Homo-oligomer: A and B are copies of this chain.
Amino acid sequence: MAVYTQVGDEDLDGFLRDYDIGTLTSFSGIAEGVENSNFLVRTTAGSWILTLYEKRVNPDDLPFFLELMRHLSGRGLSCPTPVAGRDGITLRQLNGRPAAMVTFLEGVWPRRIAPEHCRSLGTALARLHLSGGGFGRTRINALSLDAWRPLLASCQLEDREIYIGLFNELNVELRWLEAHWPRSLPHGVIHADLFPDNVFFLGHDVSGIIDFYFACNDFLAYDLAVCLNAWCFENDGSFNVTKARLLVSAYQAVRPLDEAECSALPALCRGAAIRFLLTRLYDWLNHPPGALVRPKDPMEYLKKLRAHQQVRGAGAYGL
């Protein structure tokens, strides 16, 4: 949790002068941000979120992300909508950082996942996938199959005695994934990071989806695999097939999976597990002491990977 770049009242006053969204009445840094600095900005006209993009976001990707949010909200999806300045430009600069103002969404993200959350998530995810149709830009998934082996190498596990076992296990898994990763499935724009803290709910109904800063073009069913990993495991490591069934069946009620997607699901879940395992592992091994953000536990995703390795078919996910 952190705000990396400080913003003063005069900075913000000046920044808001380029917009037609009223005058500043209040603002505060949002403690929950991890990658970027976020501020809740209140004006005489309403509430907005100001994001300053920090080092981990490639500025070249920002037009993709902002245009995508605009496209999706234009299709009726509840997600932050970038607000343009008076000159029509959404991507601006503040305190030396790329910055954008987006609409504020009501809702809270669930700390404890109820089965009903998964049902509503499935519907929202399928709608997101359908709404992404016709979006004019593309961005490759920089954290998919081709990235995993270099990512594993960058962790330098083989140089450290205690990590040799883990290195060998992941090496074998990567070989399996390289052999079994689907070649062709329905694809389109995916969120690629749809963890509970990126989905707002009012009651058990999704009220909005945020944080599109990993969005990219990839197999649509891969997004479902990310969600199965992030939403359907209990804290004790067990897989809750009731949640999975609700998630997948609500998804299918809006966008049915084809046969190839169903049979690819176990491999997609293994891939989604190794993707988060590897980035967490890298952050775990490389986070500077005294960093504002505590790295997430990579081993959680090793356990999930091992669970998916036992799966013999999509039936394990309630299909």
Contact = CB atoms under 8 A, between A and B. Distances in A.
Interface of A: 1-3, 8-12, 24-32, 40, 42, 104-112, 200-202, 289-290, 292
Contact of A290 (B26, B42, B110, B289): B289
24 contacts: A1-B2, A1-B29, A3-B31, A8-B111, A9-B108, A9-B109, A10-B110, A10-B111, A24-B108, A25-B106, A25-B108, A25-B202, A26-B104, A26-B106, A26-B107, A26-B108, A26-B200, A27-B108, A28-B40, A29-B30, A29-B31, A30-B30, A31-B31, A42-B106
Nearest to A114: B10
A233 B28 CA distance: 25
A195 to B, nearest CB: 15
Given A31-B2, A31-B30, A25 B112 contact: no
Residue among A25, A28, A111 with most chain B CB within 10 A: A28
Contacts of A201: 9
A200 B201 CA distance: 32
One complex includes copies of this chain to the number of 2
A289 B291 CA distance: 10
B289 A289 contact: yes
A108 B7 CA distance: 11
A87 to B, nearest CB: 25
A35 to B, nearest CB: 14
A201 B108 CA distance: 29
B2 A110 contact: no
B10 A112 contact: yes
B9 A111 contact: yes
Contact of A1 (B27, B31, B105, B290): B31
B112 A8 contact: yes
Contact of A110 (B9, B27, B29, B292): B9
Contacts of A12: 108
Given A1-B3, A3-B1, A106-B42, A28 B32 contact: yes
Given A3-B1, A8-B111, A10-B111, A28 B31 contact: yes
Nearest to A291: B290
A25 B111 contact: no
A79 to B, nearest CB: 15
A131 to B, nearest CB: 23
A32 B292 CA distance: 14
Contacts of A200: 26
A110 B9 CA distance: 6
A105 B25 CA distance: 9
A177 to B, nearest CB: 35
A290 B294 CA distance: 10
A37 to B, nearest CB: 9
Nearest to A107: B26
Given A2-B31, A40-B40, A289-B289, 9 more contacts: A1-B31, A9-B109, A10-B112, A25-B107, A25-B108, A26-B200, A28-B31, A289-B290, A292-B292
